[in-house]
Amino acid sequence: MKVERVELYHVSVPLKKIFKPAWIPGYPQLHNRFTLLRIITDDGIEGFSSGAAMGREREGLGHLLGPYLIGTNPGDITLIQQRLREMSYLGWRNYWIEPAFWDILGKEKGKPIWALLGGRGGEVKVYASFGEVMGPEEAVEKSFLAMEEGFEGIKLRVHDFDEEIDKAQVKAVSQALKGEMKIGVDANQGWRVTVIKDAPLWDLDRAKRFSDFCYDAGVEWLEEPLPMDDYDAQSQLKRYSKVKIAGGELNSGGYPEFKIMMEKDCYHIYQPDATFCGGISQCFKIMKECEEKGNIFTPHTWTNGIGFAINLHIFAASKSRDHFLLEYPYHPPSWTPEVRDAILETPFLQKRGKVKVPEKPGLGVEINWKTLRKYGKRFFKMTKRSLIFYSLKERGLKETIELGRIMKR
């Protein structure tokens, strides 16, 4: 089995209402944008993956990607990881591509990815992950709505310069819920963005103060209260805090970086997202080592339907699924499962706070091509034949023939 064709699509799904993400202050988000990858083998098996996008920033990716992947064995995940590592030397962080090959591998073997990882199917519990900073009244209203729908946990966002404003939201929700739901609080300090508006920058002292407050308020975990690469401060906070400290969603160094984080004992809860943090292979390795050390593993999932599916499969293979919750992006009416999963035939709908793990082979999802044609545009296609023409144009006949000889060895 060989990779026969590589396709890339820009996808932009309009939201039902303007969404103001806590992690980018002042940024009105009107669309869920991502890059869709489609890999087709010479046996006709298709594999899909997706990478979150701000716009069309991957416009030139295809001509880097295609020559690395055309003709490779899609079942050789180790080789795929190496190829993606090589591409990253040129400035692209492309581990979001790797899950497409797990999708192919699962379809070839007739097994869902969680089964390839030694997990089990059924259902997993999820928590309602809100995406905007809210005032106390709105936060309480959203929390009660989540409770009525059956969620056992929620996650709030705090992102104000004034600590008291952050505390007011959390305190109001905690008092209203009276311990009936697990509460997580995300400070979004891991990867602070100030491209539009300024944003608070927490230091260790503020993180300690807020962790004390969270403990007194009955909060279950405090997420990313410090910069994602400040391992020493994270470790100090983890040792100090009486509430669980979580993080790691966008650390792009994969397993080697998380190994350092675990050696330094940075978190109680590790949250790598396979579309950012090394693909399925490395996130699975992170998960196994994390749980061997007695920590909790629950991946970040706030991207799109395919990204959610990828991380759902890994979580389904973890021990943490039996005693913790998986993130479920949820901020109606702007951010809903129907918008998040728009290009999927069947969205991942929660029922009483649970989501079914796919039973079909690979990722277990089907693309809704009508919706993809409506909201997406293919901007790159390469086959073995077009790769030859591309090489002739770029390098000439002599060098193309020589490259072909080398590649066959």
Q: For the segment 302-338, what is each residue's pLDDT rounded down to a tens digit?
A: 999 999 999 999 999 999 999 999 999 999 999 999 9
Q: What is the DSSP string of 95-130?
A: GGGTHHHHHHHHHHHT-BHHHHTT---SEEEEEEE-
- Tens of pLDDT, residues 371-385: 999 999 999 998 887
Other residues' Cβ atoms within 10 Å of the Cβ of residue 190: 24
Q: Could you tell me what percent of the chain has a pLDDT over 70?
A: 94
Would you give the distance in Å from CA 175 to the centre of its chain? 31
pLDDT above 80: residue 400: no
Amino acid at 203: D
The pLDDT confidence band at residue 395, using thresholds 50, 70 and 90, is low
Q: For the chain, what is the total number of helices (H) and then of strands (E)?
A: 15, 13
The pLDDT confidence band at residue 397, using thresholds 50, 70 and 90, is low
Query: What average pLDDT score do residues 210-220 get?
Result: 98
Q: How far apart are CA 355 and CA 129, in angstroms?
A: 14
pLDDT above 70: residue 158: yes
As a whole number, the mean pLDDT across the chain is 94
Distances (CA, A) of 188 to 2, 121, 125, 281: 41, 32, 23, 26
Q: How far apart are CA 276 and CA 310, in angstroms?
A: 11
At residue 45, the pLDDT reads 98
- Tens of pLDDT, residues 219-232: 999 999 999 999 99
- Tens of pLDDT, residues 343-380: 999 999 999 999 999 999 999 999 999 999 999 999 99
Other residues' Cβ atoms within 10 Å of the Cβ of residue 397: 9
Residues of the chain with CATH 3.20.20.120: 115-356
Contact 218, 174 (CB under 8 A): yes
pLDDT above 70: residue 392: no
Q: How far apart are CA 85 and CA 92, in angstroms?
A: 9
At residue 89, the pLDDT reads 79
pLDDT above 50: residue 13: yes
Half-sphere exposure of 352 toward its Cβ, with a 13 Å CA cutoff? Answer: 1
Q: How far apart are CA 159 and CA 210, in angstroms?
A: 12
Query: What average pLDDT score do residues 23-41 get?
Result: 96
Contact 69, 83 (CB under 8 A): yes
Q: In what helix (H) or strand (E) does residue 372 lie, and over which residues does it extend?
A: helix 369-375
At residue 389, the pLDDT reads 60
At residue 409, the pLDDT reads 45
**What radius of gyration, in Å, describes the C-alpha atoms of the chain?**
22
Lookup: tokens for 208? 């300690």
Task: Using alpha carbons only, give the angle 257, 263, 267 rounded to the nearest 5 degrees.
Answer: 80
Q: How far apart are CA 42 and CA 29, in angstroms?
A: 39
At residue 284, the pLDDT reads 98
At residue 65, the pLDDT reads 86
Distances (CA, A) of 408 to 182, 403, 405: 57, 9, 5
If you search the block for the tokens 């890339």, which residue do you land on? Answer: 8
Q: Exposed e or buried b for every residue in 3-18, given b needs 16+ CB within 10 A?
A: bbbbbbbbbebebeee
Q: What is the dihedral of CA 275, 52, 272, 138, to 10 degrees?
A: -150
At residue 388, the pLDDT reads 64
Residues of the chain with CATH 3.30.390.10: 3-110+365-408
Write down the H helix ranges in 250-351. Answer: 254-263, 279-292, 305-316, 337-340
- Tens of pLDDT, residues 177-209: 999 999 999 999 999 999 899 999 999 999 999
- Tens of pLDDT, residues 69-121: 998 999 999 999 998 888 887 667 789 999 999 999 999 999 999 999 999 99
Task: Using alpha carbons only, give the angle 319, 354, 266 rounded to the nearest 5 degrees.
Answer: 40
Task: Give the sheet arrangement for strand 376-383, strand by strand.
Answer: 46-52, 29-41, 3-19, 376-383
What architecture is the 115-356 domain classified under in CATH? Alpha-Beta Barrel (3.20)
At residue 229, the pLDDT reads 95
Half-sphere exposure of 77 toward its Cβ, with a 13 Å CA cutoff? Answer: 18
Q: What is the fold, at CATH topology level, of the domain defined by 3-110+365-408? A: Enolase-like; domain 1 (3.30.390)
Q: How far apart are CA 48 and CA 249, in angstroms?
A: 21
